[in-house]
Amino acid sequence: MLADLYDFDKTVYPNDSATEFWLFCLKRHPKLIFHLPHQIFAAIKFFLKKSDLTKFKAEFFCFLKSIDAKKEAELFWDKNAHKIFAWFKPKENDVKTVVCSASPEFEISPILKRLGADVIIGTDMNPETGEISGKNCKGKEKINRIKKVTDGYTFRNAYTDNPKSDAPLLSLAENKFLIKDGEIIQL
């Protein structure tokens, strides 16, 4: 099966969608501010190298316990879908579209399903608790997840905003592209 492979944040979407999702939820539900001390403590542990990225992310997303995260994700994309770069059109692609992101899968799925992405891979986070199954979907973990979900796929093109951290992702495709400020640059 021939496919194109995309990172999501700062590649298909101009910003870090998980951060914007958190801010969106905080604005809609000001009571989430009560999770801030726990989130700050989790960040301090992470920056002091007392916690890894997966643990930090799970602790940071503790606020999900206080909201209907799937509903909030839909509302977030109702408001922010227009920010997706215009060149990303999975429904018009002549091959399958695979998107792999470190952002929570439940958070990016609504927009990617609307746009017609064929395969959506993200951090496997429980939208009710913030708990993560496995590891944060970043770097080499992206490759593990991609290979598991897309067995038998051949990748024609790969797109990322960060060729250093996504070098493993780029290595899967014949053609490699850098996204800089929404522009596509062949590597």
Please, which residues bridge with residue 5 across strands?
Answer: 98, 158
Name, in order, each residue with C-beta under 8 angstroms of 157's C-beta and a sequence gap of 6 or more. 4, 5, 173, 174, 175, 176, 177
Q: What residues does each domain of the chain span?
A: 2-15+78-186, 19-67
Task: Say what the pTM is.
Answer: 0.94
Residue 147 is predicted with a pLDDT of 94
Confidence at residue 157, expressed as pLDDT on a 0 to 100 scale: 98
Q: What is the rounded distance in angstroms from the CA atom of residue 76 to the CA atom of residue 72?
A: 6
**Angle between helices 105-115 and 69-80 in degrees, nearest 10:** 50
CA gap 35, 61 in Å, rounded: 9
Instruction: Provide the pLDDT confidence category of residue 40 given band limits of 50, 70 and 90.
Output: very high
Find the mean pLDDT for residues 54-75: 97
Q: Are strands 154-160 and 96-104 parallel, antiparallel or unpaired?
A: unpaired
pLDDT in the model for residue 42: 96
The matching CATH number, chosen from 1.10.150.120, 3.40.50.12280, 3.40.47.10, 3.40.50.1000, for 2-15+78-186 is 3.40.50.1000
pLDDT recorded at residue 146? 96
pLDDT per position as a tens digit, 101-130:
999 999 999 999 999 999 999 999 999 999
